[in-house]
């Protein structure tokens, strides 16, 4: 498995290795905003949003909570662990 490790965090580099699914792209579409607009609203780069949507980056708790607040939904409604986790 190809992974990057940083301070104990696990960041998958390929979609097949991602430890969780997410609905960020769907939730963003519901709000009718671009990746750039979402990134600006929560204080990250557009590339970060793209990486999350492609399951290449697992966001921090802080970022997940910011998304939760913006979407008006609990985190587990747009992030889901894989059965193997």
The domain spanning residue 25 has which CATH number? 1.10.260.40
- The phi and psi torsions of 63 (rounded to 5 degrees) equal -65, -40
Domain that includes residue 39, residue range: 3-80
The span from the CA of 82 to the CA of 73, in Å, is 20
Distance CA 31, CA 2 (A): 34
Alpha carbons within 13 A on the beta-carbon side of 28 = 20
Q: Give the pLDDT confidence score for residue 2 in this predicted structure.
A: 40
Q: What is the H or E stretch that residue 37 is in?
A: helix 35-42
- Residue 43 pairs in a beta bridge with none
Residue 85 lies in a domain: no
SS3 of residue 13 by DSSP = coil
Residue 52 lies in a domain: yes
pLDDT tens per residue across all 85 residues of the chain: 344 444 444 444 444 555 679 999 999 999 999 999 999 999 999 999 999 999 999 999 999 999 999 999 999 999 998 777 6
Domain count, the chain: 1
pTM listed for this prediction: 0.75
In a domain, 14, yes or no: yes
């Amino acid at each position: 498995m190809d992974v990057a490790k940083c301070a104990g965090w696990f960041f998958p580099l390929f979609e097949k290795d991602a430890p969780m699914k997410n609905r960020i792209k769907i939730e963003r579409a519901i709000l009718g905003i671009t990746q750039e607009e979402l990134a600006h609203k929560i204080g990250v780069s557009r590339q970060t949003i793209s990486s999350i949507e492609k399951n290449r980056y697992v966001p921090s708790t802080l970022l997940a909570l910011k998304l939760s607040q913006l979407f008006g939904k609990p985190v587990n409604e747009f992030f889901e662990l894989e059965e193997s986790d």
